Amino acid sequence: MHPLVNVGVQAARAAGHIILRHAHQTDRLTVTSKGKSDFVSEVDRTAEAEITRIIRRYYPDHAILGEEGGASGDSDTVWIIDPLDGTTNFLHGIPHYAVSIGVTYRGKLAHAVIYEPNTNDLYTATAGGGAQCNSRRIRVSRTDSLDRALIGTGAPFRDEERIQRYLPQLGGVLNETAGIRRAGSAALDLAWVANGRLDGFWENDLKPWDIAAGVLLVREAGGTVTELYGRNDVMDTGNVLACNLPIHTALERAIHSASRPD
């Protein structure tokens, strides 16, 4: 493993230990709301602080962008951290959430770590070096027909305008595929695309910490990740379409079959 990936793995496992330690006592946690249906717990903050502490021990000059702590530092190398992707699942006792750590160098995705504490599955990738799960090489699925494809998605919940933009997309994909899953963790959805469990995934308006590691994993596993509306870079807009190459055009067409953005 690349040295930065080794540090990312150490940090992700440490955060995962904190998360699991509190998983059966969520009723005792302090939980606040960042917005409609957007929660943060003391576990999110504690886990991010531990990730940051470990990174700083080895790379004190690197910059960090965390979901809870915001941006700090000025460096060509930036660590992008989601300490607990799937907080709502965690708070409801649903064992589907992950620690996500991406690293960019001069604005390009360079390294990725996604750790699923409940299964102990560890996903890693380095640009140009392929993607792994538990140290074994992974590849996207070989499904070549959309009507046999299982697709992941994330539903918006913060405002009516985004919901109305999303619902026609959902209908279009439902009509064309074998099924849709809305599991509640974009990081894990992308990791599952990389690992071939899902054939594709799309979601609108995600944040860099939601997708940095997952986007690199999919690409290094032989998949494609594009901006949903063909605009700027997906890391800038957060509108993600990830899948294997054979179904990309058909999935994109299904998503946009009922409506297009203004």
| Residue 227 belongs to a domain | yes
User: Is residue 78 domain-resident?
Assistant: yes
Q: What Rg, from alpha-carbon coordinates, does the chain have?
A: 17
Same domain, 9 and 132: yes
Together in a domain, 150 and 130: no
In which residue are the tokens 């494609």 written?
224
- Name the domain count of the chain: 2
What end-to-end distance do the CA atoms of the chain give, in Å? 44
* CA-closest candidate to residue 156, choices 122, 225, 204: 204
CA distance 164 to 25: 36
Residue 33: alpha-carbon gap to chain centroid: 21
Residues 30 and 49 in one domain: yes
Please tell me the predicted confidence (pLDDT) of residue 259: 58
d(C-alpha 234, C-alpha 211), whole Å: 9
Quote the domain boundaries for residue 230.
146-255
Helices marked H in 59-120 — which ranges? 87-91
Question: Residue 120 has what pLDDT?
Answer: 98
* CATH code of 107's domain: 3.30.540.10
CA angle 183, 149, 244 (to 5 degrees): 90
Plot region of 166 (φ>0 → left; ψ -120 to 50 → alpha; else → beta) = alpha
Does a structural domain hold residue 262? no
Same domain, 131 and 152: no
pLDDT for 39-89, tens place per residue?
A: 457 888 899 999 999 999 999 999 999 988 778 889 999 999 999 999 889
| Cβ atoms of 113 and 3 closer than 8 Å | no
Tokens coding 205? 């308006």
How far apart CA 262 and CA 255 sit, in angstroms, is 15
- Higher local confidence (pLDDT), 150 or 70: 150
Q: Are both 72 and 195 inside the same structural domain? A: no
Q: Is 119 contained in some domain?
A: yes
Domain final residue, candidates 116, 137, 158: 137
- 153 in the same domain as 118: no
Looking at the structure, do residues 153 and 224 belong to the same domain, yes or no? yes
The residue from 84, 117, 137 where one domain ends is 137
Based on the domain organization, do 98 and 211 belong to the same domain? Answer: no
Quick one: 159 and 102 in the same domain?
no
Q: Tell me, yes or no, whether 56 and 181 share the same domain.
A: no
- Residue 37 pLDDT class (50, 70, 90 cuts): very low
The answer to whether the pTM exceeds 0.85 is: yes
Q: Does residue 52 form part of some domain?
A: yes
Whether residues 114 and 151 share a domain: the answer is no
In this structure, the answer to whether residues 18 and 133 fall within a common structural domain is yes
Task: Judge contact between 198 and 151, C-beta under 8 A.
Answer: yes
How many angstroms separate the CA atoms of 63 and 44, rounded?
A: 19
